[in-house]
Amino acid sequence: MKKIVLLSTLASVALFAVAPKVISPEKRSSTLSQFVPDISAIVDFSYVNQSLDNNELESLHIPDSAEPATNANNGFNLNYLEMVLSSNVDPYFSMDAVLHFSTEEVEVEEAYFTSTALEHGLRLRGGKLLSEFGRINQQHEHFWDFAQAPLVSEAFFGAEGLNEIGAQLQWVAPTKLYLMVGAEALQGTNDVLFGNAQITDPNSPDILANEEKAPSLFVGYIKSSFDIGHTSVLPGISLAQGSTRLDRFEESANAFSGNSSVFGAELTAKHFFNSYRFLAWQSEWMTQNIDGTEYDASTGTTQRNSLEKERAGFYTQLVYAHDQNWRFGVRYDNLYQNDITLNGITQTTFDPSITNPVSTSENFDRYSVMSEYHFSEFSRIRLEYDHNSALYSESGEKQNLDTISLQFNLSIGAHAAHDF
Amino acid sequence: MKTFLMLLLLPLSLFAHLDIAVSYPYIGAITKVIGKNHVSTTVLAEGNWDPHFIVPRPSLIAKLRNADALIMNGGQLEIGWLPPLIKRANNPKTVPNTATFLDLSRSISFLQKPKSLDRAQGDVHPDGNPHFHLNPNNILILAQDIATFLSAIDGKHQAIYAENLKVFEQDWRTHLVRWQKNMASKKGMKVIQYHDNMAYFNDAYGLENIGTIEPLPGIPPSSRHTLELIKTINTQKPCCIFHDVYHSTKTAQYISEKTGIPIILMPHDIGALESIDSLVALFDYLTTVQAK
């Protein structure tokens, strides 16, 4: 045995006498130090012109959604400044941090570690992260093709999406076909859907709903992808399930506790004509079930009602990149199902107490058209028109909103390349 | 279900024991010639697409997931597409700076290293021009590098890899002589390019690049720059426009009509043109096409 090792070592020394001359790091000198993480900053700035003034906009909302569907002001908006830091930590982990600055505050949008040394196709991530539920949820705003998040994700998860503290485990199957399975255990403190805090009765010392032990939100998904010629197809399904605690006693004298689940199906097909020209069709469909008890404190004593909601919606978009400069896109958003069952009785309106109760059988939709010009990989300007007919005033009047926006997006520094 | 999984896994087990993923076709060709039947290569990029803008299709993640090692060009040529694939493949064997990862640019002396890094000068490569494999002399260095790498991760076949390298080197050196002869009369010839991706080829044979159709690296052509380039062509009289196969030749055709200099398609990798099916075919083509 020793002999063989010795012989082969000798042989290799002899044969590799002219070993490749590896250039010393000094000669390869790059001005970048390896120990400084990749740092990038992205600024998004827009000029917006809407058919309604800022005052009127403030009171508009999608019925039964806590969040307004749009947050841009008429005139100039500094939408955000995003700072991204990323680097390897050691041979076992990498770390990413995304800081989201608005003109008033800074938010840690993401801060997580990712394992780099696990075997068997496993990857563990922990910290604050964007859930990989569906397709658009994990993408940062600057990577979106339209200015606003799809109506369905805004209505179901709020303007920030599923952005939670928790742990994520993903597994890529050892198959020729791309197949990824992921599971996430998340704290579950989404503003509009998931929550676990205790709810107390404003009219008595009673506890209406006990605290649910966190983590109280669980997400799972299966995603796959295959190519047909130069067309890549990405199907996927996702499920989010967790406890819901919505304490709105102070704002609107009601609260809700129960369980919610959201099921999503996604399909993206992207065809490449050459290195720069592509046509991409991307759609997501989601259905939401909320089941529990509603607490109504508007009359002085708290009433309990059993409440179940079934909602469904989708978006579908088509984007054509003509070359490295020009891109065009259309998107259609629709929330088409809003079934409400209160104490076993199917409701026909969202809130019968307002002047013009909005029917639950209404379609809430939006059309968007955009064209983008990319000066380079690092700067682009987007002209977008939206026609939003999903908005209602507090007294229940439908208000169509037309928006034209000119959005400027610039990035500096070392920003990691995006996924497909 | 089990049989279904078996069927899916079967093709993997049929291959040789080392599955080497490589970014570009030329790397696959060198790896195959050194590794022969002891390795199988999985080439991620297609040779007729812009090497800077390979699409990070998720199907490539599955290919990386199952690889035993990864060899890349480096010099930031893959920066726009390979890192997101590596991050998603969840394969510790294809993570940069591990024993089963090879960055070929580490053994090459770069041309055009920028003195300062500023994106006002376009999408510059911080390490210099990364299209180094187009100098056929560099292929020898890369082959040695790959042979050392394969020997390091698969010590059992060290002697075989060394032997294969020796045979390849002898063969390649005879080609080098031939290509040198083909290009001898071209020394000092001035050329225009779309993007300076033939820099190492030009350097090897003494050709001089006097301008590019893109005003700055990664910035698409502008009419002002095109007019300036036409002026340069009229005063400096270059022989021709070396054009890559993946950019539109629209601007080049306009320039060609205005100045009368021909466009010559210069394949950059195996598969860039249908007839380019090997490394030898690539350099045979590159060293004879100007004569036509």
Indicate yes or no: CB of A172 within 8 angstroms of CB of B106: no
Closest CA relative to residue B69, chosen from B19, B31, B143, B4: B19
Task: For B140, name the nearest residue in chain A, comparing CA atoms only.
Answer: A20
Distance spanning both ends of chain A, measured CA to CA: 49
Give chain B's largest Cα–Cα span. Answer: 71
pLDDT in tens, A297-327: 888 888 999 999 999 999 999 999 999 999 9
What does the pLDDT average to over A377-406?
Answer: 92
pLDDT of residue A59: 80
Q: A375 vs A346, B105, B120, B122, CA distance in Å?
A: 53, 30, 12, 11
> Across the interface, which of A174, A180, A378 has its CB nearest the CB of B119?
A378
Q: How far apart are CA A330 and CA A319, in angstroms?
A: 7
Residues 6+ apart with CB under 8 A from A258: A243, A244, A290, A291, A292, A293, A307
Task: State which residue of chain B sits closest to A169, comparing Cα positions.
Answer: B90
pLDDT values of chain B reduced to their tens digit, one per residue, 292 residues: 455 555 454 444 444 589 999 999 999 999 999 999 999 999 999 999 999 999 999 999 999 999 999 999 999 999 999 999 999 999 999 999 899 999 999 999 999 888 887 888 887 888 899 999 999 999 999 999 999 999 999 999 999 999 999 999 999 999 999 999 999 999 999 999 999 999 999 999 999 999 999 999 888 899 999 999 999 999 999 999 999 999 999 999 999 999 999 999 999 999 999 999 999 999 999 999 876 5
Domain ranges of chain B: 8-176, 184-291
Q: What is the ipTM of this complex?
A: 0.87
A22 — pLDDT class (breaks 50, 70, 90) = low
State the residue for tokens 């071209």: B186
Q: Which CATH number fits domain B184-291: 3.30.70.120, 3.40.50.720, 3.30.420.280, 3.40.50.1980?
A: 3.40.50.1980
Q: What pLDDT was estimated at residue A23? A: 54
User: Given CB atoms, is B141 within the 8 Å cutoff of chain A?
Assistant: yes
CB contact, 8 Å: B249 with chain A? no
Q: Does B121 touch chain A (CB under 8 A)?
A: no
CA pair distance B16, B91, nearest whole angstrom: 19
Q: Are B50 and A225 a contacting pair at CB < 8 A? A: no
pLDDT on residue A54: 83
Residue B263 to residue B253: CA distance in whole angstroms: 7
**Using 50, 70 and 90 to split pLDDT, how confident is the model at A250?**
confident
Residue pLDDT, tens place only, A57-99 = 888 888 877 655 556 788 999 999 999 999 999 999 999 999 9
For B158, which of A8, A20, A22 is closest by C-beta distance? A8
Q: Do A177 and B8 touch (CB under 8 A)?
A: yes
- C-alpha distance from B185 to closest chain A C-alpha (Å): 31
Per-residue pLDDT at A418:
85
Give the mean pLDDT of chain A: 88
Quick check: B137 contacting A, CB < 8 Å?
Answer: no
**CATH code for B8-176?**
3.40.50.1980
pLDDT of residue B220: 87
Average pLDDT (A144-148) is 94
Exposed e or buried b per residue across A359-377, where buried means at least 16 C-beta atoms within 10 angstroms of its C-beta? ebebebbbebebebebebb
Which range in A32-36, A103-107, A151-155, B268-272 is most confidently predicted, on average pLDDT?
B268-272
pLDDT digits (tens, 9 = 90+) for A211-244: 999 999 999 999 999 999 999 999 999 999 999 9
What's the length of chain B? Answer: 292
The CA-based angle B213-B216-B219, given to 5 degrees, is 85
| A vs B: CB pairs below 8 A | 156
Q: Do B219 and A376 make contact, defined as CB atoms within 8 angstroms?
A: yes
Q: Which residue of B has its CA nearest to A15?
A: B162
